[in-house]
Amino acid sequence: QLFTDGITNKLVACYTDEGMADAVLVRVYGRKTELFVDRETELRSFQVLRAHGCAPDLYCAFQNGLCYQFLPGIALGPDHVRDPHIFRLVAQEMARVHAIHANRSLPKPILWQKLHKYLTLVKTELSPKVSNPSLQQDVPSLEMLEQELAWMKDTLSQLGSPVVLCHNDLLCKNIIYDRPRECVRFIDYEYTGYNYQAFDIGNHFNEFAGVKEVDYRLYPSKETQLQWLHSYLQAYKRLTQGARGDTVVSEEELEALYVQVNKFSLASHFLWACWGLIQDKYSTIDFNFLRSIFPQLFLFSLFPWLSF
């Protein structure tokens, strides 16, 4: 069975049992994805997450793909992630991933390295601007993007968000809901790595708007965000402080994380906009990458003028 939801790779389920009880997944990497995905890091992240019970079994890796365990359940959509019951499960699972410490000392966040790499690729691979000349007027100049990246790094790095192990690509379809077990699991670890806690959450909130039919009116309201963040902080405190720790979440903690998350969602818009420009040139997958990035570029341009 070929899965068609992915916009980076090709994914096929192979099975003999009609109920897919014996299914394995084979993922074939998309064309030129090595430009923005470190496959060795992906494998290490997969193994670390598996060791902590946060990923399926990995059966083998080959030159241009992976074979791993099929997780039963449904891939979520924008309607699911707004359901309070499900989004609390998502918040708790994200806290579980963030609580993993694979190294004794945490490395630097990968965000700025990634953003500089993507912007360099846009500059060198898509010079002067984009592959489609008719769209040049809709894409900011490289000089403007460089200025905005410098502003972003200077502003966001001062917010004090902890560096934790992050999924970094928690769109709805990367969350599998297992209804019988009442749990969710995250899949696809191509971008997993140590990063700002608030980036991972802000990126997920952006994904409430969907992928193919993007509607940013679906971005979670402050009330929904506070409920989500409260569940997350409770779980994160319990996992990192142990039974003797205080899991009570104060209003000050909640508000501080809310501000951090909504500011870091800006970096998510910038990153995926650059990613979309690169994918538009190289990907063989039938998806309108340029159409998907225009709302992100528009929202990104508004953020420097917003206050929280």
| Tokens matching residue 171 | 């769109």
Residue 192 pLDDT class (50, 70, 90 cuts):
very high
Assign residue 71 a region (left: φ > 0; alpha: ψ between -120 and 50; beta: otherwise): beta
72-306 homologous superfamily: Aminoglycoside phosphotransferase (APH), C-terminal lobe (3.90.1200.10)
Q: How confident is the model at residue 308 (pLDDT cuts 50, 70, 90)?
A: very low
Share of the chain above pLDDT 90, in %: 58
Distance of CA 80 to the CA centre of its chain: 17
Q: What is the mean pLDDT of residues 149-170?
A: 95
How large is the average pLDDT for residues 150-162? 95
Any idea where the domains of the chain sit in the sequence? 72-306
Q: Is the pLDDT of residue 233 over 90?
A: yes
Beta strands 183-186; 193-196: pairing state: unpaired
H-assigned helices in the chain: 39-51, 78-81, 84-98, 111-125, 142-156, 197-206, 222-241, 251-282, 289-302
The CA distance from 152 to 95, in Å, is 25
Condensed to tens digits (0 to 9), the pLDDT of residues 248-301 reads 999 999 999 999 999 999 999 999 888 887 776 665 555 555 555 555 555 555
72-109 confidence digits (pLDDT tens): 999 999 999 999 999 999 999 999 999 998 555 678 89
Q: Which pLDDT belongs to residue 179?
A: 95
3-state secondary structure of 81: helix
Mean pLDDT of 53-58: 95
Residue 154 pLDDT greater than 90, yes or no: yes
| Chain-centroid distance, C-alpha 224 | 19
- Higher pLDDT: 215 or 56? It is 56
Within 8 A by CB and 6+ apart from 184, the residues are 73, 76, 86, 89, 90, 93, 175, 176, 177, 178
Position 293 scores a pLDDT of 56
| pLDDT of amino acid 191 | 94
Q: What is the mean pLDDT of residues 133-162?
A: 83
pLDDT band at 138; cut points 50, 70, 90: low
pTM of the model: 0.88
Quote the tokens at residue 218.
């679906």
Residue 245 has pLDDT above 60, yes or no: yes
CA distance 239 to 308: 29
Q: What amino acid is encoded at 200 in this protein?
A: D
Q: Look at residues 303, 306, 282 and name the one whose alpha carbon lies nearest to residue 7.
A: 282
Mean pLDDT to the nearest integer, 159-180: 95
Instruction: Calculate ∠ Cα 244-247-251, nearest 5°.
Output: 150
**What's the mean pLDDT in 31-60?**
90
Q: Which residues of 122-157 are buried (b: 16+ CB within 10 A; e: fewer)?
A: beeebeebbeeeeeeeebeeeeebeebbeebeeebe
What would the two tokens of residue 105 be? 């000392």
